[in-house]
Structure 1
Amino acid sequence: MINWRKSSYSGGGGAGGQDCVEVAKLTGAIGMRDSKAPETGHLSLPATGFTALVARVKRDELDL
């Protein structure tokens, strides 16, 4: 069983503050998914890729 948890940075905008990203430690990777639609699957990144993604988000380097 995968133990998903909400990111500590989730819940900002959106309808009622329900915009949530969940993360989980997977075998050899970190998983991310939308808590509002977990049945749609998840994104799996190697730990180094996840760390790089978080660093880019913190530096506001992504065009979202």
Structure 2
Amino acid sequence: MADAALPTWRKSSFSDGGSEDQSDCVEVAITTNTVGVRDSKTPTTPPLTFTPAAWSQFLNKMR
């Protein structure tokens, strides 16, 4: 995520669907030009990145 040195990562409210391991989480960071998605167990792995428009389309399809 090149446009933010330290993005704020937030855990998905849909993570940990009853799992005993509370580390099974998807995290999302939103910056001006990108939306990053990563696995909280591997935070040093580069995140998947999407444009804000693509992320918005994804969320709208999930509703």
TM-score norm. by structure 2 comes to: 0.72
Deviation at 1:19, TM superposition (A): 2.1
- Whether 2:3 is the aligned partner of 1:18: answer no
Which runs of 5 or more residues in structure 2 are unaligned? 1-5
Q: Once the two structures are superposed, what CA deviation does each residue of 1:12-33 show, in whole Å capped at 9, x if it has no partner?
A: 1555253211001123111110
Taking CA–CA contacts closer than 8 Å with sequence separation of 6 or more, which of the two structures ends up with the larger relative contact order? Answer: 2
- Contact 1:12/1:19 (8 A) holds in 2: no
Structure whose residues are more often helix by fraction: 1
Query: Which stretch of the first structure deviates more once superposed, 47-56 or 26-35?
Result: 47-56
Deviation at 1:55, TM superposition (A): 3.0
Deviation at 1:48, TM superposition (A): 1.0
- What fraction of aligned residue pairs are identical, expressed as a percent? 41
Against the structure 1 CA distance between its residues 24 and 12, is the aligned structure 2 distance closer, same or farther, given a 3 Å change threshold? same
Against the structure 1 CA distance between its residues 29 and 11, is the aligned structure 2 distance closer, same or farther, given a 3 Å change threshold? same
